[in-house]
Structure 1
Amino acid sequence: MLEQYTRLFSPQRKYWVLFISLVLLLVPLCFPTRVHAQTETPTWYEVNAAGEVQLHFYFFWSESCPHCRAAHPFVESLPTAYPWLQLHDAELTQYPEHVEQYVQLAAAVGQEAQYVPAFIYCGTMLTGYDSAESTGSQIRQNLEACYGQIKAYVQGQNATAIASADAARAAEVNAAAATAPRVAMIAADAPPTSVPASPPTVAAQASVTVPLLGALAVERLSLPVMTVVLAGLDGFNPCAFFVLMFLLSLMVHAGSRPRMLLIGGLFVLTSGLIYFLFMAAWLNLFLVIGALRWITALAGVIAILLALINIKDYFWFKTGVSLSIPDRAKPKLYQRARALLQTDRTAPLVIGTLVLAVAANSYELLCTTGFPLIYTRMLTLATLPTLGYYLYLALYNAIYMIPLLLIVAFFAIKFGARKLSEGEGRTLKLLSGLMMLLLGIVLVIAPDLLGQVRIALALLAAALLITAITVLINGRRHTPMQAR
């Protein structure tokens, strides 16, 4: 029996081995210098030859971030209001070196480079922006307090001598600043007691703590929401439904509930693992080349094309280009599924199920490229730690598997056989195609809108509404007059 399944790895499947190999080669690419970057002691301030203190203020932002755009007028006004402030404006999506600088500075103050906009100065870091009256006021108070402390310290140490002294003293001062968890920066030589020891406390943003992912600001909950929405829609994959329901229908005739659970569960878990690797390949590709602005637009254009093909399949099923499992491939899948019924031994049964899952998923990936493409691009537009990217991928795939696992449970409990009808498959294609189309348009025109929860929910509602109306109208159009 083992020989029977080893023969299934025909030359036509060599491309699958190549795909897995490419994925494994790409995985390390997501661990660039972010993981092994050396944290250097940052320079929070300097003293010029005239003895004047100059503070360094780092502003990290992204073009796709609406809160970053809102913060720009305030940030640009700071050097005018405070001549002693040196502004370092760092956009992340087009400049990978800025990402590395963000990671290093965040690590220097004991934080992680996760969100934008981010403001780093005086040994402290603040993320998020509300308005000039709230967040802006807090930053101004912190800067003024920090400047006052450092100026008092420098004046007490003879500013002219510090400006012309050897670099060792300056490095020592900045090293002390790097270890300070507050804006009061000089540990060895504290400023006079009349100067506040720390700046006014920065009010924390409303957040929700998620296990392993940490605290997520409420205004940034769009990524978890989009994960649930896209993975949920992606889970209703007609290609996966077709193979799984056919396989379980055969298992019903075998009359064994444990075998059905074993085969169905293995099939779904293997599909989820392959899907995870497939999405990891997209993720690493975008992490490597995603800093280019046109990559987001290209991803949107590809998603739109895939969406139009899915929508076409609702009206003209299997006519022209299609993302369905080709008819020529179905006999081979049927043959492999029936082969599972001919063995009573566990090992060949497990191996056969795994081989069938790999073979089926090689076709299923063609059906569902759109959602992984859109989601992984959205993921890389967010500044997350490496582990965060993969945790989101794991969450996506866990949600993706839920509908398939429910099908396995239904068949095992009811012991009934059922196949996915053509009409149901077409409806699923229409819904996923519409959602893909809307997301692709947003990626091309205004990708920053995907950072808003209400946009994610509005897109889902629009896709559901249009699908329901289309199916209703199309059903009435094909209903004979006497049946109405």
Structure 2
Amino acid sequence: MTTATRASTATARPATAAPAARAPPTPTAARRCAATTGFARAASSCSNPGVSPRAILAALATFAVLTLWIADVRAATRVEVYSKSGCPHCAAGKDYLGELSRKYDLEIVDYDVVESGQARARLRALAAKAEVERLVVPSFVIRGQLVVGFDRGGQSAARIEALISGEAIDDSKVDLPLWGRVDTNQMGLPLFTIVVGFVDGFNPCAMWVLLFLLSILVNFHDRKKMAVVGGTFVVISGLAYFAFMAAWLNIFLIAGVSRPLQIGLGLVAVAVGGIHVKDFFAFGKGLSLSIPDAAKPGIYARVRRVMQAEKLSTAVGAVAVLAVVVNLIELVCTAGLPAVYTQVLVNNGVEGAGYYAYLALYILVYMLDDAAMLTIAIITLSKRKLQERGGRILKLVSGAVLLVLGLLLVFKPDWLLWG
């Protein structure tokens, strides 16, 4: 052993020999000694006289702190996932975390908000702390930050990775004058609602009846009667349409979210959209989703009944019935966009009254074009009717939108998710 060898060499020296003066170790020698004997041993056997024990203890303490800091940094990042079974965007979010786990050291904890009341309560508490009003699944908690929803190609995916890597900055909330704090991550679904509701409002079936009604009312040159009767038609039509969309919504809520249902509805939307686009190029030929010619005489008769009413209250009652009947007749003509929209709404995991708030927003936008035409007719007393060319253009627009949404439901449903 090295220790034993050193001991025997020392006893072989003459007793009278004075020990030679030891020169301070050179920097090169000190480094070599530290490298071969270790940090602690180098401190005792290779130190020069100018290094105090207090400095050595300080160096050891610094080394220990650095070691603990490195260990903490290298610890797995905890990611809490709040999801529910049968949720396609929850599955997409978990797949994304699986990909990130190959790049980062992650501890992924999954909570089912349907099965666990504690998980729901914790998620609500986190949302209240983060001032998040609308909760959807999946939701993620990373380094104490809440990320609501998942969009593979959008902000939520980028924010999740940024939080995991420790580089995220919470810039999703902005303060708008007269509005207050707005979370920009939640703007996608409201904007989608406005766009689809606006396009659906130009449905040629409902618009044809309204314009025909106004062309008859204008003969009375009574703006008050036009406003009351026409306004009743627009409002009752909107309420009937709301009930129709609520029925679609509840069908999807009961049926649940499933990939086969998405594909089936997407294919139906593609077929309906294709028929509408066909009507632009070959109007009146082959299959068409319009108000049947056989139903038009009955509508004309009801419109005349409105006109023949002597009292305004009678006219209002008659036009309210007309609005409901027209909405029932045109269900085949108008079913496409409401069905696709309510499916997208369910896919985005909106909860409770939020569903009906979105439907109300949709209907308000849906009624805007009818209200605008009514206002123009009252001001100008115009007898303009919906001509074939105008109807074909409206069918082309609504058909193209349906085609795009249907294809997205079939091939890229994640593109219709907002977080």
Alignment match, 1:103: 120
Alignment match, 1:269: 235
CA distance in 2, matches of 1:60, 1:409: 48
Contact in 2 for aligned 1:71/1:129 (Cα 8 Å): no
The letter of the residue matching 1:286 is F
1:393 and 2:359 equivalent? yes
Alignment match, 1:446: 412
2:321 corresponds, among 355, 376, 379, to 355
Within 5 Å, give how 1:257-406 maps onto structure 2. Answer: 257-406=223-372
Alignment match, 2:64: none
2:88 corresponds, among 63, 68, 71, to 63
2:395 corresponds, among 412, 422, 429, to 429
Within 5 Å, give how 1:203-214 maps onto structure 2. Answer: 203-207=169-173
Within 5 Å, give how 1:462-473 maps onto structure 2. Answer: none
CA distance in 2, matches of 1:452, 1:253: 49
**RMSD after superposition:** 3.3
Q: Helix, strand or coil for the counterpart of 1:405?
A: helix
The letter of the residue matching 1:348 is T
The normalised TM-score by structure 1 is 0.61
> Who wins on radius of gyration, i.e. which is larger?
2
Unaligned runs of 5+ in 1: 1-53, 140-201, 454-484
CA distance in 2, matches of 1:208, 1:390: 26
The letter of the residue matching 1:288 is I
1:232 corresponds, among 186, 198, 223, to 198
Paired residue total: 328
Alignment match, 2:164: 136
CA distance in 2, matches of 1:63, 1:322: 34
CA distance in 2, matches of 1:104, 1:301: 39
Relative to structure 1, the CA distance from residue 251 to residue 131 in structure 2 (aligned partners, 3 Å threshold; closer, same or farther) is closer
Within 5 Å, give how 1:107-126 maps onto structure 2. Answer: 107-109=124-126, 111=128, 114-120=135-141, 125-126=146-147
Q: Helix, strand or coil for the counterpart of 1:64?
A: helix
Q: Helix, strand or coil for the counterpart of 1:312?
A: helix
The letter of the residue matching 1:63 is P
- The C-alpha deviation readout for 1:310-335, integer Å capped at 9, x for no partner, is 12222222333221111111111111
The letter of the residue matching 2:362 is Y
Relative to structure 1, the CA distance from residue 341 to residue 450 in structure 2 (aligned partners, 3 Å threshold; closer, same or farther) is same
Quote the offset at 1:302 in angstroms. 1.3
Q: Helix, strand or coil for the counterpart of 1:311?
A: helix
Alignment match, 2:100: 74
- The C-alpha deviation readout for 1:412-452, integer Å capped at 9, x for no partner, is 00011011111110111111111101110010001111237
Contact in 1 for aligned 2:276/2:396 (Cα 8 Å): yes
Relative to structure 1, the CA distance from residue 124 to residue 218 in structure 2 (aligned partners, 3 Å threshold; closer, same or farther) is closer
Contact in 2 for aligned 1:235/1:404 (Cα 8 Å): yes
The letter of the residue matching 1:107 is R
The letter of the residue matching 1:304 is V
1:88 and 2:73 equivalent? no
The letter of the residue matching 1:135 is L
- The C-alpha deviation readout for 1:193-212, integer Å capped at 9, x for no partner, is xxxxxxxxx8534135799x
Which is worse superposed, 64-73 or 443-452?
64-73
Contact in 2 for aligned 1:67/1:130 (Cα 8 Å): no
Contact in 1 for aligned 2:77/2:164 (Cα 8 Å): no
CA distance in 2, matches of 1:73, 1:55: 14
Quote the offset at 1:240 in angstroms. 1.0
Quote the offset at 1:222 in angstroms. 2.2
The normalised TM-score by structure 2 is 0.69
Quote the offset at 1:376 in angstroms. 0.7
Contact in 2 for aligned 1:311/1:430 (Cα 8 Å): yes
Relative to structure 1, the CA distance from residue 400 to residue 230 in structure 2 (aligned partners, 3 Å threshold; closer, same or farther) is same
Q: Helix, strand or coil for the counterpart of 2:88?
A: coil
The letter of the residue matching 2:82 is F
Contact in 2 for aligned 1:304/1:440 (Cα 8 Å): yes
- The C-alpha deviation readout for 1:36-62, integer Å capped at 9, x for no partner, is xxxxxxxxxxxxxxxxxx998631355
Q: Helix, strand or coil for the counterpart of 1:361?
A: helix
Quote the offset at 1:295 in angstroms. 1.5
Quote the offset at 1:369 in angstroms. 0.8
- The C-alpha deviation readout for 1:334-365, integer Å capped at 9, x for no partner, is 11111112123122111101011111111222
Unaligned runs of 5+ in 2: 1-75, 149-155
